[in-house]
Amino acid sequence: MRRKKPRSYNKDVRDLVREVPYRGVGGIASPEGAMFLQWESYLEKLAINTLLLCHDVQSISTQQTFRLEDGSGKEIKYTPDIQILHKGRWILIEVKPLIRLLDPDTRLKLANRSALLSKHGYALHFLTDDHLNQKPQSDNVQLLARYKNHPIPSHKLRRILESVGEYTTINSLLDFDRCDQFLSNIYAMIAQKHLWVEINKPISLNSCISLPGHGNGGLSYEQISTTGRVGSILERLVLEGGQEADRWLAIEKARGKQRLYHGPEWFW
């Protein structure tokens, strides 16, 4: 006699997942405190923390759905990974690994989406692991992310700002106050954009800091969007495609196989 198959709960599980009201699997507290910035992958989390340090990003939000007409009366829903206000203009950002972004099907989909968004006055940009995993930038971003909501006593904030000159190191500021929390306050002021530091150099006690708008420190969206191996040509590769995009896709696939064979980059 054939045994009765156990009841499958797969359908029930799928129905439950469809009813989840949010797409995000994690959240980062917004500096304004009004909302959480949702992320669905480690790369999106790194992108949000990086953008929070950019002095030319006035506002940032995530998982906001746009309803757009495609010209034939049909409504298209689109939810970008991140939305930023950059120099008075809203920019929608897709965050994806470079190898996935250069996939022909993905390129075609994003090219059509970009054309539709531009008709409604929106710009579609892209951030990849090629932009965000640059060392030591990514290490500094992860360090400062711990302090973006760290409370800074007002008297400490005023005292530190008054002490910053044209050439000031973190170590020289420590001479003013050797309490345990003083270094945390300095990191918090950098993370909250009260002070600038050169993100492209490892942060240490010898790092030079400056007031916003002074010196060579600080991080900007324009800076991170053009960094990496293909940063300056990425938009053209995705939206126009062609042989150059196919060549870069082949390069990324070869790099992926190399990492799979030799282990992660930090290992070799």
Q: Give the whole-angstrom CA distance, residue 240 versus residue 92.
A: 19
Position 226: which residue type? T
Judge whether residue 258 has pLDDT over 50.
yes
Residue 198 CB neighbours (<10 A): 19
CA atoms within 13 A on the CB side of 233: 10
Report the SS3 class of residue 54: strand
DSSP-derived letter for residue 125 is: E
When comparing pLDDT for 125 and 36, which is higher? 125
Nearest to 127 by CA among 16, 15, 228: 228
Overall residue count recorded for the chain in this entry:
268
Q: What is the pLDDT of residue 1?
A: 52
> Hey, where are the domains in the chain?
26-133+229-262, 151-218
Q: What is the pLDDT of residue 11?
A: 44
CATH 3.40.1350.10 fits 26-133+229-262, yes or no: yes
pLDDT mean across residues, the chain:
82
Report the SS3 class of residue 76: strand
Q: What is the pLDDT of residue 9?
A: 40
Here the tokens at position 257 are 């196989």
Q: What is the pLDDT of residue 124?
A: 93
Position 32: which residue type? E
Q: Give the whole-angstrom CA distance, residue 171 versus residue 206.
A: 6
Nearest to 144 by CA among 33, 231, 62, 51: 51
Judge whether residue 220 has pLDDT over 80.
yes
pLDDT confidence bin for 196, thresholds 50/70/90: very high
Judge whether residue 18 has pLDDT over 50.
no
53 touches 31 (CB < 8 A): no
Could you give the angle at the alpha carbon of 86 between the alpha carbons of 26 and 35, nearest 5°? 30
Q: What is the pLDDT of residue 23?
A: 52
Mean pLDDT in residue range 232-240: 85
Helices 242-262 & 104-119 angle (0-180, nearest 10): 130
Q: Give the whole-angstrom CA distance, residue 186 versus residue 176.
A: 12
Residue 106: φ, ψ to 5°: -65, -40
